[in-house]
């Protein structure tokens, strides 16, 4: 998806593609004083041995995710981004967590200074991690700092990235369901550093549609009796989720929405199946059994067929721009108005898509009104 972000952004900046899918390019955000797409510079961390972006872009073009002409058309920008990718952090790496964090902080600061950037927003788009057990040292910053020095397994990589970002004064976004910034100790750090953050797990498929539809049942006093879903997906993310541990993280974040919107747990299972030949495509089929007047049972089914990266990539741009502007205007802590983008929004319980959008627009208006 990272490659899709860079390729698409470059093509839009060059006027080769319209900004379809970019929420922040619509009229509702015209007055929010966001940084222009032109103003963005891309860099990142990836694990050692990852293929260069130019190669990945070719693969995406063959799979129909980015236009066939685009890898060549934006080759310069891909090379430029590639040059800013540093070796990332993986679970079980030697050294203390502090040493690991320091390395990441140095990368972030160096990127900001070398490229003369006003600020850097860190977006976690790495592979989903399994759920990470809560520990006492997650509860407050002091305890966490001690743990960083002493031991190598107090945090999963996603949280070390989050720690490093906040310490470096960079807004941090959890695009995945990994633990990341979602720890009391890191919230404390964010507030202390005056840095905003948001997450987690971008909603781009089944949950997006669910949070558009579920409020309809609630508003119409129709009683949802069971909501069942099956997700078929290929691609790198699909392969990761074929591991039941990783897919457990995903299911937990997917299920929360329905419970919040309908006010009670609803029967029904959610399956996530890795179907390798689907490549970058994902299909979700949902079956909703509901009861109406007189106890009559009725159903709604939907099938969503989407291209994973095409759905997610523009949101990375949106989130980076919105977080940058929030930082600029002095916000810190969880950006609850970004709940619109996430399956499992941090710091807010509103899951109804339309109302999340209203909150986002109102906040964007306030962002624009500030100095």
Ligand X SMILES: NC(=O)c1ccc[n+]([C@@H]2O[C@H](COP(=O)([O-])OP(=O)(O)OC[C@H]3O[C@@H](n4cnc5c(N)ncnc54)[C@H](O)[C@@H]3O)[C@@H](O)[C@H]2O)c1
> Using CB atoms within 10 A of its CB, is residue 285 exposed (0-12), middle (13-18) or buried (19+)?
middle
Binding mask 212-241 for a copy of itself (x = CB under 8 A): xx-xx--xxxxx-xx-x-x-x---------
Please identify, using beta-carbon distances, which residue of 116 and 293 lies nearer to a copy of itself: 293
**Partner whose binding site includes residue 314, from a copy of itself, Na ion, ligand X, none (CB under 5 to 8 Å by kind):** a copy of itself
The residues in 205-244 that bind Na ion, with binding defined as CB under 5 A, are none
Give CA–CA dist 24/99, Å, rounded.
37
> Using CB atoms within 10 A of its CB, is residue 191 exposed (0-12), middle (13-18) or buried (19+)?
middle
Residues 6+ apart with CB under 8 A from 289: 224, 225, 226, 227, 228, 297, 298, 299
Concatenating the DSSP letter of every residue in 149-215 gives HH-S-SS-HHHHHHHHHHHTT--EEE-SSSSTT-SHHHHHHHHHHT-EEE-S-B--SHHHHHHHHHH
> Where does this chain touch Na ion (CB under 5 A) — which range of 83-91, 111-119, 264-272, 297-305?
264-272
Give CA–CA dist 190/200, Å, rounded.
16
**Partner whose binding site includes residue 66, from Na ion, ligand X, a copy of itself, none (CB under 5 to 8 Å by kind):** a copy of itself
Give CA–CA dist 287/267, Å, rounded.
11
Between strands 333-334 and 196-198, the pairing is parallel
CA of 350: how far to CAs of 34, 197, 222, 356, in Å? 24, 17, 20, 7
Which of 145, 188, 260, 273: binder of a copy of itself (CB under 8 A)?
273
Binding mask 126-155 for a copy of itself (x = CB under 8 A): ------------------------------
Q: Which residue is nearest to ligand X (CB)?
A: 236
Between strands 44-46 and 172-174, the pairing is unpaired
Q: Which two tokens stand for residue 263?
A: 């006010």
**Partner whose binding site includes residue 151, from Na ion, a copy of itself, ligand X, none (CB under 5 to 8 Å by kind):** none
305 binds a copy of itself (CB under 8 A): yes
> Where does this chain touch Na ion (CB under 5 A) — which range of 16-24, 189-197, 270-278, 348-356?
270-278
271 binds Na ion (CB under 5 A): yes
267 binds Na ion (CB under 5 A): no
Closest approach of a copy of itself to the CB of residue 4, in Å: 7
11 binds a copy of itself (CB under 8 A): yes
The residues in 32-91 that bind a copy of itself, with binding defined as CB under 8 A, are 61-62, 64-68, 70
Closest approach of Na ion to the CB of residue 254, in Å: 13
**Partner whose binding site includes residue 201, from Na ion, ligand X, a copy of itself, none (CB under 5 to 8 Å by kind):** ligand X
List of residues contacting Na ion (CB under 5 A): 271
């Amino acid at each position: 998806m990272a490659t899709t972000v860079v390729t698409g952004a470059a093509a839009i900046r060059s006027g080769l593609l319209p900004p379809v899918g970019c929420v922040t390019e619509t009229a509702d955000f015209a007055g929010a004083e966001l940084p222009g797409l032109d103003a963005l510079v891309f860099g990142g961390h990836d694990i050692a041995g990852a293929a260069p972006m130019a190669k990945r872009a070719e693969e995406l073009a063959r799979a129909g995710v980015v236009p066939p002409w685009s890898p060549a058309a934006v080759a310069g920008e891909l090379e430029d981004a590639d040059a800013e990718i540093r070796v990332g952090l993986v679970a079980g790496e030697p050294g203390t967590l502090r040493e690991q964090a320091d390395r990441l902080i140095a990368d972030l600061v160096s990127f900001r200074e070398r490229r003369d950037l006003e600020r850097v927003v860190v977006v976690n788009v790495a592979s989903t991690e399994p759920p990470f057990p809560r520990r006492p040292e997650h509860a407050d910053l002091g305890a966490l700092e001690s743990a960083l020095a002493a031991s190598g397994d107090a945090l999963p990589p996603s949280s070390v990235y989050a720690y490093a970002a906040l310490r470096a004064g960079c807004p941090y976004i959890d695009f995945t369901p990994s633990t990341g910034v979602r720890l009391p100790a890191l919230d404390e750090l964010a507030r202390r550093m005056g840095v905003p953050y948001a997450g987690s797990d971008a909603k781009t498929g089944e949950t997006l549609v669910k949070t558009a539809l579920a409020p309809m049942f609630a508003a119409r006093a129709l009683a949802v009796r069971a909501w069942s879903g099956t997700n078929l997906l290929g691609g790198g993310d699909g392969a990761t989720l074929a591991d039941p541990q990783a897919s457990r993280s995903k299911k937990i974040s997917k299920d929360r929405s329905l419970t919040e919107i309908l006010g009670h747990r609803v029967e029904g299972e959610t399956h996530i199946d890795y179907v390798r030949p689907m490549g970058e495509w994902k299909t979700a089929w949902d079956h909703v059994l509901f009861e109406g007047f007189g106890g009559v049972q009725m159903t709604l089914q939907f099938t969503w067929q989407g291209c994973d990266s095409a759905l997610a990539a523009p949101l990375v741009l949106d989130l980076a721009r919105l977080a940058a502007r929030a930082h600029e205007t002095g916000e810190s802590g969880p950006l609850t108005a970004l709940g619109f983008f996430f399956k499992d929004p941090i710091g807010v319980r509103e899951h109804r898509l339309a109302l999340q959008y209203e909150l986002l627009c109102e906040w964007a208006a306030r962002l624009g009104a500030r100095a």
